[in-house]
């Protein structure tokens, strides 16, 4: 059993004009595929790791043998993060509803305030990384992580909840269309957030296996 690249749940051009088809194709077929291939190479001979879901590996890095831990952290994180990222986007606009909408209002005051805080975090993450909205015990928090780290790794400064929404702020996610204008990419990205998918993730936050 090895890890496999999940299909995109929509076509490469589905998120245009906000995210262009060429970026989506390279991002999925080259970058995400690369993380999967390197993760599989790193865990060769470790059947116990091959049977875990990517989220479980990220939550248990200390159990990964030290000689492959960095490769598993980078590429297992890359596999988990992108698997979530594709699913929390989609064509067409939506709004948070139900329990998620209530939790956003309770934690941040309103949706606009949550978006403002999330966008500021994403814009100020230095270098490559991710911005996250996490749920824990029904409440929400925002943080960013470096490289391909994610909140499941529960490292210093990261929120230790279940990721329900994420944004890739590596340059490969936006450079073709936005060049160095990361804030423009972030602002446009809200148009392709699939809030129904985020709400389903919020409703299932008892499950550790976020990439499934």
Kindly state the smallest distance separating residue 142's Cβ from Mn ion, in Å: 19
Task: State in angstroms the smallest separation of the CB of 98 from Mn ion.
Answer: 29
User: Rounded to the nearest whole angstrom, what is the least distance from the CB of residue 1 to Mn ion in the complex?
Assistant: 24
- Tokens 């993060």 — which residue? 81
In angstroms, rounded to a whole number, what is the distance separating the alpha carbons of residues 145 and 153?
A: 10
Rank residues 24 and 104 by Cβ distance to Mn ion and give the closer one: 24
Shortest separation between residue 169's beta carbon and Mn ion, angstroms = 9
Supply 212's token pair: 């499934």
**What is the pattern of x (binds Mn ion, CB under 5 A) and - over residues 145-174?**
-----------------------x-x----
Cα 51 to chain centroid, rounded: 21
Minimum distance, C-beta of residue 173 to Mn ion, in the bound complex (Å): 5
| Complex with Mn ion: residue 170 or 185, whichever CB lies closer | 170
For residues 29 and 95, which CB has a smaller minimum distance to Mn ion in the complex?
A: 29
| Cα angle for residues 180, 146, 78 (degrees, 5° grid) | 95
- Cβ closest to Mn ion, residue 158 vs residue 170: 170
Q: Which long-range contacts (CB under 8 A, 24 or more apart) does 148-152 make?
A: 148/35, 148/73, 148/74, 148/75, 148/77, 148/78, 148/81, 149/73, 149/77, 150/58, 150/77, 150/80, 150/81, 152/55, 152/58, 152/59, 152/80, 152/208, 152/210
144 forms bridges with which residues in the sheet?
A: 131
Residue number of the CB atom closest to Mn ion: 168
Between 90 and 96, name the residue whose CB sits nearer to Mn ion.
90
Using DSSP's 3-state secondary structure scheme, residue 160 falls into coil
211 in Cβ contact with 178 (< 8 Å): no
Number of residues that bind Mn ion (CB under 5 A): 2
Closest to Mn ion by CB, 130 vs 195, is 130
Within residues 50-109, the interface with Mn ion by CB under 5 A covers none
Q: How far is the CB of 81 from Mn ion (least distance, A)?
A: 7
Binding footprint of Mn ion on the chain (CB under 5 A): 168, 170
């Amino acid at each position: 059993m090895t890890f496999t690249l999940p299909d995109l749940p929509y076509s490469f051009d589905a998120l245009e004009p906000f995210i262009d088809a060429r970026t989506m194709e390279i991002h999925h077929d080259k970058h995400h595929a690369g993380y999967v291939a390197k993760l599989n190479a790193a865990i060769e001979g470790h059947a116990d790791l091959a049977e875990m879901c990517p989220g479980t590996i990220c939550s248990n890095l200390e159990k990964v043998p030290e000689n492959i831990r960095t490769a598993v952290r980078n590429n297992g994180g890359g596999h988990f993060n992108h698997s979530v990222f594709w699913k929390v986007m989609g064509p067409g606009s939506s709004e948070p509803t139900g329990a998620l909408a209530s939790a956003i209002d309770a934690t941040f005051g309103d949706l606009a305030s949550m978006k403002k805080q999330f966008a500021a975090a994403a814009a100020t993450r230095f270098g490559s990384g991710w911005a996250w909205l996490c749920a824990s015990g029904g409440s929400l928090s925002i943080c960013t992580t470096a490289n391909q780290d994610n909140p499941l790794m529960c490292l210093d400064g990261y929120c230790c909840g279940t990721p329900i929404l994420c944004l890739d702020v590596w340059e490969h996610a936006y450079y073709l269309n936005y060049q160095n204008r990361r804030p423009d990419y972030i602002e446009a990205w809200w148009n392709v957030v699939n809030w129904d998918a985020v709400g389903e993730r919020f409703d299932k936050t008892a499950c550790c296996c976020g990439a499934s």
